[in-house]
Amino acid sequence: MNKQSEHLSKKQIEELQTNFIAWYQKKRRNLPWRQSRDPYFIWISEIMLQQTRVETVIAYFYRFTEKYPTIEALAKSDEQELLKVWEGLGYYSRARNLKKAAQQIMTEFGGVFPNEIEAIRSLKGIGPYTAGAIASIAFQRAEPAIDGNAMRVISRLYGIDADIAKPASRNVFDAVLRQLIPVEAPGDFNQALMDLGSGVCTPKKPVCTNCPLKNFCFAYQTQQQDRFPVKTKAAKPKDVYYFSVAITNEIGEYLLVQRPDEGLLAKMWTFPLVEVNREVFEAAQKNFAKEETLNLFSVAEELTLPANLPQNVVWQKRHLGEIRHIFSHLKWHVLLFYGVAQPDFVKPLKGHFVPFNEFSNYVFPKPQQKLVELLEKSKR
């Protein structure tokens, strides 16, 4: 499992720490949340950075902290407004958990962000990595912040062949990092790991000549960079199929429905979605072929409509196209249809008709944003 740990003496570890911190001080990325050690800003940034690139997060961080500059402001936020500010970042449970954790801080910690690791971990939505990052950066606690970047760097540095896809492997990296983290600069050390993993010790083609740890690195010394880290492939996302229906009323407003209070994309707004099997989906693709000569007003009177579409709607002769969207465990295939509601159309309980120019007032998940773009293209 560990090819080299016994070869790093205490003196070598101290030299590694000194070189690494010096490299970080010189090469560190200039990011807005690094301008202070305020735990609130570090917390917000770390939650945003989960599953999201730094370049994307910067604008969201500014917008979010301008609207919610304090823990108290976040705790008192309106959920729909909060989700609107978060719109586009995805994984919306992160935003909901931020509010719940802010409320926890107000009620359980007197409005002051806790500084002990166990207390930090007790907050909603904060796992071991985020807790370690906040504790080390904001409060200078010698706690590891173990994410993919850290495991990649450490696996190459020490020649660790523990499978990083397995949760149990985290204990291996935790033990190694606790030997490496300097007590006088744990925050800088963890942030150095973040920067090294994202810009130098990358998954493919690491730039080893620029690495401050190359003289200590097992993978570099043995030219086995491609062997580490060991990671089994994740399960392929499950394919699911939907018809999305853009239904207008007599004055051109579109029907939007709010998703259930719990589950994927909870409380967000979309066109009505009808789940179908693959065979029905592919049949609709074929029978409602997208023909460029048709427009929104070509009616499907002579075609057999898929039975899954809502009733009492005059449907357009073709679908408007397909969008695909991958969640961590699901791959959505969505075919967009357009229709006009008839007088006897029954509106869903959690739905209402909305003018197109008021869509910006509603929280749309990414798949809905893609569907709106398809609809706009067909109106041109």
164 φ, ψ (degrees, to nearest 5):
-70, -10
The three-point CA angle 195-118-58 to 5° equals 35
From the list 6, 15, 46, 118, the catalytic residue is 46
Rounded CA Rg of the chain: 26
Bond before 229 cis per omega within 30 degrees:
yes
Whether 63 and 87 have beta carbons less than 8 Å apart is answered as: no
Distance CA 135, CA 298 (A): 61
Distance CA 363, CA 234 (A): 30
Show the tokens assigned to 265.
């994309």
Q: How far is CA 181 from the centre of its chain?
A: 28
Helix axes 10-27, 186-199, angle to 10 degrees: 70
Instruction: Specify whether 55 is catalytic.
Output: no
123 φ, ψ (degrees, to nearest 5):
-75, 140
Residue 207 CB burial class (10 angstroms; 0-12, 13-18, ≥19): exposed
The one-letter amino acid at 193: L
Cβ neighbors of 333 (< 8 A, separation 6 or more) are 239, 240, 241, 242, 281, 322, 324
| Residues that are catalytic | 46
